[in-house]
Amino acid sequence: MVWVVLLGLLAAALAATDNVDTEWIKTWAPLIAGAAGLTVVICIASIALAIVLAVLGALGRLSTNPFINGLASLYVSLVRGTPLIVQIYFIYFALPSLGIILPALPAGIFALGFNYGAYLTEIFRAGIQAVPAGQREAGSALGMPDRLVMLRVVLPQATRIVTPAIGNEFIAMIKDSALVSIIGVREVLWNAETAGRPRNNTIEAFIIAALIYWVLTIIFSLFQERLERRMARSDR
């Protein structure tokens, strides 16, 4: 309720300054909003890639094999120690000189997935370690090989443990996905920028973009809440 009043006042204030062209908004808002679908697609594809990388990364970080362990920790350290925007530039602009040429959309998805995979690796590792040791022992005591214990006993429980954290990362990713506009992926921010620039309607354009990201994060927060409630009900 308070939100509605405050936002109403803000909108009125903006309209009163006469810098905001409401006609322009009416024309362009739907076109900019049309890119929300692509933003969501980018995020879903990227989080899927990130989860795959994270499971592998977490298993690597927990491996006793020094090479695999080293590889996984190098991945995490390298990705977390460099800016996402540098990673995007590197994949889109630098990789082609090594002969790896990716179009903008796959490059953006790959960069986001690769980046979030490193953060999720640590989350998955913590989740795997949070499964009680007795669960592993029970699986082993039934004669299950280590791989089967991991696959059937530990990972399903770890997945439940990390689901809320994955949700949080996904919401952060919705916002970070705006960064891929710099390599020309035609998602929400790119559309807003392209529409706003020529006629100098940047205030309107970026307000629309901001609202779209905000609405998307709210929608997914609600979705996440429901998912968590359902999981809480299903057991424990």
Partner 1 sequence: MPSGDPIVRVQNLHKYFGSLHVLRGVDIDVRQGEAVMLVGRSGSGKTTLLRCINFLEEPTVGSVEVDGLKVDADPLRSRSREHREQIRQIRVRAGMLFQEFNLFPHMTVLQNLIEAPMRVRNLPRGEAVALAERYLAKVGLRDKRDEHPARLSGGQKQRTAIARALCMEPKVLMFDEPTSALDPELIGEVLGVMEDLAHEGITMIVVTHEMHFAREAADRVVFMEEGQIVEQGPPEQILDSPRDPRTQQFLRRFLATGAGASAD
Candidate residues 1, 23, 98, 234; the one interacting with partner 1 per rule CB under 8 A:
234
Which of 152, 199 has the CB closer to partner 1?
152
Q: Which stretch binds partner 1 (CB under 8 A): 65-73, 92-100, 138-146, 169-177?
A: 138-146
Q: Is there binding between residue 148 and partner 1 (CB under 8 A)?
A: yes
Cα–Cα distance for residue pair 154/50, rounded to 1 Å:
19
Q: Is there binding between residue 232 and partner 1 (CB under 8 A)?
A: no
Candidate residues 19, 78, 137, 218; the one interacting with partner 1 per rule CB under 8 A:
137
State whether residue 144 is helix, strand or coil: coil
What is the smallest separation between the CB atom of 73 and partner 1, expressed in angstroms?
Answer: 23
Which of 26, 233 has the CB closer to partner 1?
233
Cα–Cα distance for residue pair 132/134, rounded to 1 Å:
5
Cα–Cα distance for residue pair 177/156, rounded to 1 Å:
28
Length of the chain equals 236
Q: Is there binding between residue 157 and partner 1 (CB under 8 A)?
A: yes
Q: Is there binding between residue 156 and partner 1 (CB under 8 A)?
A: yes
How many contiguous H segments (helices) and E segments (strands) does the chain have?
A: 11, 0
What is the smallest separation between the CB atom of 64 and partner 1, expressed in angstroms?
Answer: 10
Q: How far is CA 231 from the centre of its chain?
A: 21
The answer to whether 33 touches 189, Cβ cutoff 8 Å, is no
3-state helix, strand, coil split of the chain in percent (to 5) is 85, 0, 15
What is the smallest separation between the CB atom of 142 and partner 1, expressed in angstroms?
Answer: 4
Cα–Cα distance for residue pair 142/100, rounded to 1 Å:
47
The answer to whether 116 touches 47, Cβ cutoff 8 Å, is yes
Candidate residues 32, 120, 150, 153; the one interacting with partner 1 per rule CB under 8 A:
153
Structure token digits, residue 74 = 């190098």
Candidate residues 22, 86, 145, 223; the one interacting with partner 1 per rule CB under 8 A:
145
What is the smallest separation between the CB atom of 157 and partner 1, expressed in angstroms?
Answer: 6
Q: Tokens 């929300």 belong to which residue?
A: 36
Q: How far is CA 174 from the centre of its chain?
A: 5
Which of 30, 145 has the CB closer to partner 1?
145
Total site size for partner 1, rule CB under 8 A: 22
What is the smallest separation between the CB atom of 136 and partner 1, expressed in angstroms?
Answer: 9
Interface ranges with partner 1 (CB under 8 A): 132, 134-135, 137-146, 148, 152-153, 156-157, 160, 234-236
